């Protein structure tokens, strides 16, 4: 029988979450440096932060690996 360590699985899920977040931030980081687009870019960046903060809380609250798989 294969046993999965839930804490290690959560760490892997957080790594995946961080990578996805970084992908979404990349174009916004560039736009944030353009004065005419900075305000809109920062609003979009905050939306990304909020999305992944919620996902972080959900990952931490998972009690099974199946729940982790559903999130990702």
In angstroms, the Cα distances linking 57 to 27, 36, 64, 71 are 25, 34, 14, 11
Q: What is the pTM of this model?
A: 0.86
Residue 53, pLDDT above cutoff 90? yes
Instruction: List pLDDT tens digits, range 7-39.
Output: 999 999 999 999 999 999 999 999 999 999 999
CA dist., res. 27 & res. 48, Å (int): 12
Percentage of residues of the chain with pLDDT beyond 70: 100
- b/e burial code for range 36-61 (CB count within 10 A of at least 16 → b): eeeeebeebbeebeeebeebeeebee
Average pLDDT over residues 39-57: 96
- Asked whether the CA dihedral 28, 32, 34, 35 is positive or negative, the reply is positive
The pLDDT, as a whole number, for residue 60 is 96
Instruction: Report whether pLDDT(2) > 90.
Output: no
């Amino acid at each position: 029988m294969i046993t999965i360590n839930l804490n290690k699985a959560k760490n892997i899920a957080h790594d995946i979450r961080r990578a996805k977040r970084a992908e979404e931030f990349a174009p916004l980081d560039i736009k944030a440096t353009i004065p005419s687009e900075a305000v809109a870019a920062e609003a979009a960046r905050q939306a990304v932060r909020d999305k992944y903060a919620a996902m972080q809380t959900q990952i931490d609250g998972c009690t099974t690996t199946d729940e982790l798989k559903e999130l990702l």
